Structure 1
Amino acid sequence: MTGWTTDRIPDQRGRVAVVTGANSGLGLVTATELARHGAHVVLAVRNTAAGREAARRMGGDTEVRELDLARLDSVRAFAAKLTADHPTIDLLVNNAGVVLLGPRRTSADGFELQFATNMLGPYALTGLLLDALAGARAARVVSLSSLTHRNARLDFGDLMSERDYRASAAYGRSKLATTVFGVELDRRLRSAGSPIVSALAHPGLTRSNLTPRAWEHRGRLGRLIGRLGLLATQPVERGVLPQLRAATDPDVRGGQFFGPSRLFETWGPVTEARLSRQAADPAVGRRLWAAAAELTGVSYL
């Protein structure tokens, strides 16, 4: 199998890269490759002990900082301390996310937990780091989408899924919101004349620590399905390539969306991916942006 690989990542020396959820899965491999190519990588993680162990194993120029995207106070504290130490940031990879099963859960701020973690937290973090990104020569923000965004629809009368909650549907809506955010961020950056690039990526069907665990609560049959599901997925080292390309390819343009190229974008070499109609709709982008600004108290662009 040919195509874009980590061998094509340019020298990252002199660049400061922030990767959320960098202690496992896609985030760990992203951070590892950026560090391997010379970047100073900030591992933004909820579990700092796991983050320190990940940093120790990957080597390179790294630091670990605590960040819980589901808590706006944590997002604000992280951004304030980070920009005090790093006035210029070259790359933000909004990689961290959560997928839940079972009953509806809320964040400390009262938001549905998947929407809070997957969309509102990254929206607020990006805004709070925007001045530091604007100071870089070729700054970039990468938003991590999912194939599930194509089967989801945003209900602006019930963004927090209070009326009819199903965990899998709420996850899909949160990833659609993440995708809408990345596209709308590109529109607003262009309109403002900003050189910052907003790009997006999705990993297709990728084997991660969440794949079997998502079925564990469903008994023996569920565990079997989860294990069989591993056979239908690609390894993390391949699933991470779309977001690494979005993060490092010098030819990436604002608004580009990358994913695997084969079998309905579930696996294979990196190519440009397809947005759902709602994800590409400017009216949806404006409406979601306004809602996120009101919910988080973070307004920008």
Structure 2
Amino acid sequence: MTTFTKAHIPALAGRTIVVTGANSGIGRAAAGMLAAKGAHVVLAVRDLAKGRAAAATMTGDVDVRRLDLADLASVREFAERSAEPIDVLINNAGLMIPPLGRTTDGFELQFGTNHLGHFALTNLLLPRIRDRVVTVSSTGHRTGAIDFDDLNWKRRAYRAFPAYAQSKLANLLFTLELQHRLTEAGSPVIATAAHPGLAATNLLGHLDSGQSPLRRLRTTLIGLLAQSEEAGALPVVYAAVADVPAGSYAGPGGFLQGRGAPKLVGQSRAARDNAVAHRLWTVSEELTGVTFPLTTASGERTSSPPGHGRQIP
């Protein structure tokens, strides 16, 4: 099989690609590669100044728009202002093991941003998406579990990495259920996922904050072993533009999927649990008030009814 590199990215003139969190890290690297190949790339960012600074480093047709995934009102506003057809949506923005925080709507910050914000954004934009949705997960999903009794860490003592792992598992379960619903609706759009492996991005910034010398040493070693932002972005670009199957998952092909050229990789058993994926989707609809917008050929809705102000678990 041919190794996928930047040289294999096809010409993308006439295509519009939205990348969330594109002001830094793998989002910025992916957006730059896609713009350089002729795509109209929308940088969907929380900080417009940082987004414009990132856009200034790119060659091609780049637009910067404000999107705060930790605020559902901002998600809705972004969707309302995005009237043009979108070929690819890349759900890249994310937080990794910050201190306990809450979104504007009261969700635990990682679950609310990494999963619920992208869940709402995807469904609001879906009628305008023509090709695919790519959602960025992590190898950390393998230790994740969906705690439906306490999704937002209100009853338990907060633990940053388990909360992160839950959100990354939610990304893959979202992709699984989204593809199921797209297939039921007869849509040509596909859902895919990717992870960057061990990439040296600003997400690693939280790892050494307030930790012991031993843990700071571990963080330093991780930084030395990590591949570049551009290398970490390649699996995401691969999932976005290559001829990959619906529902597939791309990541680095090297040792423990930490680095290397992108290829299709496996997921945990938990990430392939259709029952949990369906339940998470239903709960996510209730929490966000956003539902799957497409219908089947017979005109039936493929989603559960919209929520009615359910209390945050």
TM-score of the superposition, structure 1-length normalised?
0.93
1:37-67, Cα deviation, whole Å (9 max, x unpaired) = 0000000000100100111111310110000
Code of the residue aligned with 2:110 in structure 1: it is Q
Code of the residue aligned with 1:94 in structure 2: it is N
1:217-254, Cα deviation, whole Å (9 max, x unpaired) = 226555443222211211111111111000011x2121
Give the aligned partner of residue 217 of structure 1. Answer: 210
The alignment partner of 1:18 has SS state of strand
Is this contact kept in 1: 2:97–2:206, CA < 8 A? no
Inter-partner Cα distance in structure 1 for 2:168 and 2:238: 20
Shift of 1:82: 1.2
Instruction: Kindly indicate whether residue 277 of structure 2 is the aligned counterpart of residue 285 of structure 1.
Output: yes
Give the aligned partner of residue 227 of structure 2. Answer: 234
1:200-230, Cα deviation, whole Å (9 max, x unpaired) = 1011111112224421322655544322221
Inter-partner Cα distance in structure 2 for 1:184 and 1:213: 31
* % identical aligned pairs: 48
Give the aligned partner of residue 111 of structure 1. Answer: 107
Give the aligned partner of residue 118 of structure 2. Answer: 122
Give the aligned partner of residue 178 of structure 2. Answer: 185
Tell me which of 125, 130, 138 is aligned to 1:146. Answer: 138
Code of the residue aligned with 1:97 in structure 2: it is G
The alignment partner of 1:268 has SS state of coil
Give the aligned partner of residue 199 of structure 2. Answer: 206
Gaps of 5+ in 1: none
If each structure's helix is expressed as a fraction of its own residues, which one has the higher value? 1
Is this contact kept in 2: 1:216–1:226, CA < 8 A? no
Instruction: Kindly indicate whether residue 21 of structure 2 is the aligned counterpart of residue 21 of structure 1.
Output: yes
Give the aligned partner of residue 307 of structure 2. Answer: none
Is this contact kept in 2: 1:55–1:64, CA < 8 A? yes
Give the aligned partner of residue 254 of structure 1. Answer: 246
Q: Report the more deviating stretch, 259-268 or 166-175.
A: 259-268
Inter-partner Cα distance in structure 2 for 1:18 and 1:30: 11
Shift of 1:101: 3.1
Q: Report the more deviating stretch, 142-151 or 263-272.
A: 263-272
Inter-partner Cα distance in structure 2 for 1:118 and 1:212: 17
Is this contact kept in 2: 1:213–1:226, CA < 8 A? no
Code of the residue aligned with 2:128 in structure 1: it is A
Is this contact kept in 1: 2:134–2:239, CA < 8 A? yes
Inter-partner Cα distance in structure 1 for 2:147 and 2:210: 29
Inter-partner Cα distance in structure 2 for 1:268 and 1:89: 30
Code of the residue aligned with 2:136 in structure 1: it is L
Is this contact kept in 1: 2:4–2:261, CA < 8 A? yes
Following TM superposition, where does structure 1 have runs of at least 4 consecutive aligned residues deviating by more than 6 angstroms?
Answer: none
Shift of 1:262: 2.1
The alignment partner of 2:210 has SS state of helix
Gaps of 5+ in 2: 293-301, 303-313
Is this contact kept in 2: 1:203–1:259, CA < 8 A? yes
The alignment partner of 1:140 has SS state of strand
Code of the residue aligned with 1:153 in structure 2: it is A
1:233-281, Cα deviation, whole Å (9 max, x unpaired) = 11111111111000011x2121011111222211222121111112111
The alignment partner of 1:90 has SS state of strand
Is this contact kept in 2: 1:260–1:266, CA < 8 A? yes
Inter-partner Cα distance in structure 1 for 2:70 and 2:52: 21
Q: Report the more deviating stretch, 220-229 or 11-20.
A: 220-229
Give the aligned partner of residue 299 of structure 1. Answer: 291
The alignment partner of 1:60 has SS state of coil
Inter-partner Cα distance in structure 2 for 1:237 and 1:100: 22
The alignment partner of 2:256 has SS state of coil
What does 1:2-21 correspond to in 2, within 5 Å?
A: 3-21=3-21
Inter-partner Cα distance in structure 1 for 2:75 and 2:61: 23
Give the aligned partner of residue 99 of structure 1. Answer: 96
Inter-partner Cα distance in structure 2 for 1:229 and 1:246: 25
Shift of 1:184: 1.1
